[in-house]
Structure 1
Amino acid sequence: MKKRAWIFILIPFLLFYALPVGAAEKEDRKWQDESIYFLMVDRFNNGDLGNDNQVDVKDPNAYHGGDFQGIIDKLDYIKDMGFTSIWLNSILDNEDKGYHGKWVQDFYKTEEHFGTMDEFKKLVKEAHNRDMKVLFDFEVIQVGPNHSFLTEPEKKDWFREQKGDELPKLNQENPEVKNYLIDAAKWWIEETNIDGYYLEDVDKAPDDFTREFAKEVKSAKNNFYLLGDLQAHDSEKVAQFQELGMDGLLDVPLAEKIRPVFDQVDNSLNDLVANKEYLMSIYKDPFLMGSVVDNRNMARFTHAAITKNQHPGPRWKLALTYLYTTPGIPIVYYGSEIALEGGGGADNHGQMDFRTDKELIDYITKLGELRAAFPSLTRGSLELLAEENEMSVYKRTYEEETTVIAINNSSGSQNITIDANVLEDDRELRGLITDDLVKSRNGQYTLFLDREEAEVYVLSNKSGINIPFVIATIVVYGAFLTFIYLIWSRSRKRKASKK
């Protein structure tokens, strides 16, 4: 009985400490609130051995067996990490060994190694049942080297002049080509109810085509998201494409600055945060940009860290903290959660391994929880507060909510002092990752972090007596003591009746 009583006594305190520490009420979800998990279908998970035709896991350029069913089997794994959307490489029917999706041979069929159209529809439905969105690569620039259109005389002007051994380039200025691509793109939306497309090297197409393509596909479904990438990784040019109807672009210029900062210790974040503030000023909608550390077209971030004799785990944690807490949609390449290694080319498309240490997975999960709970992390303004000895502090503010992010990228413990006039005096910063608590003293906040550590704080009122909680506790205790008394009284009467 005493053991049970202590359990009941502890319940109110457990409930108190489980309460959120001031997260603002979440508004309707927008694309800027998403976090995207990008995977290559063939290299992710093999869920159906029946479509394993000419599979060779030892050949980096062959199919490895990943398919739609494999993704369905792992949707909960992806969702549990906090991801709200999945992005797949092209699922269109490809030529032999086109596991990467770049050698399209039929715009109206799924790649048979991945599964049937019905299986893809099931994948989209299962994702939607989990409140997750789905987008995939839609090729508008090129086709496979042996596409049937190349042998049809009437389609000679469907292609641009080919240079060297490059893939055949479509001529989007031809009205027939333009209409063909738009019709196919709208067909997939109507057939499968997908939520977005990724257009690679979209700057290789004429602006008029991009503008019309964007307008037409968005007319097929509300809130349809268009993500793109440019061959020319220039910030000014990236900004132009949001004007053409692309919702977001992969922020490769940002990635190129993130990597050399975080792939080793003792690098300052000052220029990185300043650059992000600059990009926010030139992008039409910086909150819809795709923020990446790496992707399939560059050596993995893990490879960069290992090359510099760094342990990839701490490097990834700091890079991901920055990715998740600055404006833009975080896009995480599959395998990053296990620090998957990989150099350039096919080496970057390694096989996913689900039997690994969960430490980094748990960290990503925590970051996902924070993004979902605090609108300031997805919609807030950005301001650098301090930078000293490779430790940086910046804040995000949205309506009445302020979050403060501190990242110590140095090889030693650091502290940094923030004047209360930029955060409000007589309040406190409650840590959401390491449970740190910093109260203002003498008009200042002093933050302390161990080496290679990050913390996300929320600005809150100073801890004090919580009157509603005290009243609720009294009510709970009163009910509990009444219950104990009734049990005790009934037990005494039972014992008395047996004598």
Structure 2
Amino acid sequence: MWEKLIAFILVLLVIGSVAPVHAAEQKASTWQDEIIYFVMIDRFNNGDTANDYQVDSSDPSAYHGGDFQGIMEKLDYIKEMGFTAIWLTPIVNNEAKGYHGYWTEDFYEVEEHFGTLDEFKLLVQEAHNRDIKIILDLVVNHTGYEHPWLSDPDKHDWFHEDKPILNSNDQNLIETGRLAGLPDLAQENPEVREYLLDMAKWWIEETDIDGYRLDTVKHVPKDFWEDFSKEVKAVKEDFFLIGEVWHNDPTYVADYAKTGIDSFVDYPFYNEATRIFSSPDQAIGKYMNGIWQRNAVLYENPSILGNFIDNHDNKRFTRLAIEKDQDPVSRLKQALTYLYTAPGIPIVYYGTEIAMDGGEDPDNRRMMEFQDHELVSYISELGKIRQEYPALSRGDYELLLDQAGMTVFKRSDAEQSMLVAINNTTADQTVTMTNDMIEANQQLRAVLGEGIISGNSDGYVIRTSSESAEIFVIEDEEAQLMGMTSWVVGTGGLVIILGIVFLIVKRKKVKP
């Protein structure tokens, strides 16, 4: 008997030792595998009070003290939540009260409130040491209101004439008019174009950043973006460009992909996701599925679009929930689960992890308050799951069930299939997934939530509590055994098993 037990244990060890490497380790990372944390530098963390020039935390339109040092001090905090990239608001020198970075005074100088160029280089290096990429916000559409070029007679033709954008359907006016009265650069001028392209390449060469988030893309001619994309990608391999085309028409947004810009912050996704998840009992599947179906047609790789539910230009998601008399934490959990499991790159705005409140700009840019919060743990768990199961970032998307406020969808690649169930209602829900939705003789093992669901002749019965979400990996018994043996080998179980073998042998030797 003892010999048989020992033999069985040894078989487990052998199987575990040759178990296939997880898919996440087999494939090189691509941008669709990233999870982005969006930081407004001035409002994140004040790490160096020596650069607090004219800081006034009581004025929502003034500098509040956040800087590069403050971000460096929180890199581990960001890493532990599972983020693999950080998008930073512009770092160039801005004019008075340009705390946000979008009122450029000098394209080649670092804003003194944030620190020095060397400190920024150190920030990039420290992020890279933690396998975190840095995406820098870049503005080439306009300058600040008082830019020195405005009074330089040699640069009079560097700007378009002063005219407001009164017709949002006039593309020429969109590209040549003054957005919010900001001086509009004339990219058709060869000198302006060369200056902006050289500047963009200089920051990459000088600091080793990994990507640009391109501001106000639709206000700049497409032929400029074509040149821009070619030039910057010649500097650094796999340099990532994610553009902001603030428009509700996905066809309009997607047309800019022809310029070479890799990705876009997905406003059509944002519009539907915030509407649906800020209050319960809203239908999910047919609307969000519609977004995906359009994106799948419009983009070569829709899985690298940037999905978001919060940003610096709109009311905080928390405020949207509060305005509907809802608990923002419950609402955020639903929205974040969808954000992390639907096709696309999740982008989380700083403060969302503490359910930060905020109305219109600048109220949505409050100073970060670091605290223990259940959403920090929740986001960390979602990040861990997304990184562990590549089907959630690379897999196909299939809507399996959609009924009032309840949705179930599947993400599948060649190695694995995941099932996501979101109950966006105020009542417990029970749904049956038939065997034509999920193959028979499988099981659903919860990776967010608890338990294992086995099928029967009718299918798989999923029970979810009100306002909750669950994520399952679909597997058969062989996959479950492989998981067990991986634990044996990879988490110290080998030592335990060998100890058991030793005790058995010892006991056998002393047996009378």
2:440 counterpart SS class: coil
Spell out the pairing of 1:133-212 with structure 2 (5 A cutoff): 133-164=133-164, 166-212=181-227
The secondary structure found in structure 1 opposite 2:418 is strand
Query: What residue number does 2:110 align with?
Result: 110
Match of 2:502 among 475, 479, 487: 479
Matches within 5 A, 1:313-328: 313-328=329-344
Deviations 1:143-166 (A, max 9, x none): 001101111111111001122561
Question: Which amino acid in structure 2 is aligned with residue 447 of structure 1?
Answer: I
Contact in 2 for aligned 1:277/1:382 (Cα 8 Å): no
* Cα distance in 2 between the residues matched to 1:427 and 1:329: 29
Cα distance, 1:480–1:307 mapped onto 2, change above 3 Å: farther
Contact 1:439 1:462 in 2 (8 A): no
Partner of 1:53: 53
Residue deviations 1:346-373 (CA, integer Å, cap 9, x gap): 1010110002x42111110011011111
Task: Give TM-score, length-normalised by structure 2.
Answer: 0.88
Q: Does 1:279 align with 2:298?
A: no
Taking a change above 3 Å as real, the CA distance of residues 452 and 465 of structure 1, as seen in their structure-2 partners, is closer
Partner Cα distance (2:44, 2:337) in 1: 24
Equivalent residues of 2:276, 2:283 under 8 A apart: yes
What is the rounded CA distance, in whole Å, between the counterparts of 1:230 and 1:302 in structure 2? Answer: 24
SS, match of residue 378 in structure 1: helix
What CA distance in whole angstroms lies between the structure 2 residues aligned with 1:483 and 1:225?
61
Rounded to whole Å, the distance in 1 between the matches of 2:506 and 2:379 is 43
Please tell me whether residue 266 in structure 1 is matched to residue 281 in structure 2.
Answer: yes
CA deviation after TM superposition for structure 1 residue 464, in Å: 10
How far residue 273 of structure 1 moved from its aligned partner, in angstroms, is: 2.3
Could you state the TM-score of these two structures normalised by the residue count of structure 1? 0.90
Alignment RMSD: 2.4
Tell me if structure 2 keeps the 8 A contact 1:23–1:401: no
CA distance in 1, matches of 2:499, 2:438: 37
Q: Of the candidates 203, 214, 229, which is equivalent to residue 229 of structure 2?
A: 214
For 1:406 and 1:456, the matched residues in 2 are separated by: 6
In structure 1, distance between residues paired with 2:325 and 2:22? 39
Instruction: Report deviation, 1:458.
Output: 0.5
Contact 2:247 2:267 in 1 (8 A): no
Whole-angstrom distance in 2 between the partners of 1:351 and 1:391: 36
1:51-90 map, 5 Å:
51-90=51-90
Percent same amino acid among aligned pairs? Answer: 45
Give the equivalent residue in structure 2 for 1:446: 461
CA distance in 1, matches of 2:288, 2:481: 40
After TM superposition, give the deviation of residue 484 of structure 1 in Å. Answer: 9.2
One of 303, 306, 327 as aligned partner of 1:290: 306
Q: Which residue of 2 aligns with 1:8?
A: none
> Which residue matches 1:237?
252
Does the 8 A contact of 1:274 with 1:384 survive in 2?
no
2:102 aligned counterpart, secondary structure: coil
Partner of 1:427: 442
Matched AA of 2:45: N
Query: Mind listing any 5+ residue stretches in structure 2 that lack a counterpart?
Result: 1-11, 13-18, 165-179
Partners of 1:299 and 1:54 in 2: how far apart?
Answer: 27
Residue in structure 1 matched with residue 9 of structure 2 by the alignment: none
Pairing 1:338–2:354 present? yes
Q: CA deviation at 1:294?
A: 1.7
1:388, CA displacement in angstroms? 2.3
Give the whole-Å Cα distance in 1 for the aligned partners of 2:479 and 2:276: 40
Q: Distance in 2 between matches of 1:385 and 1:47?
A: 48
Structure-2 change in CA distance of 1:22 and 1:414 (3 Å): farther
The equivalent of 1:9 in structure 2 is: none
2:316 paired with 1:300: yes
Structure-2 separation of matches of 1:48 and 1:465: 50
Once the two structures are overlaid, the 10-residue window that deviates more, 76-85 or 467-476, is: 467-476
Tell me the number of residue pairs that the alignment of Structure 1 and Structure 2 aligns. Answer: 470
Q: Secondary structure at the match of 1:208?
A: helix
Q: Distance in 2 between matches of 1:466 and 1:143?
A: 61
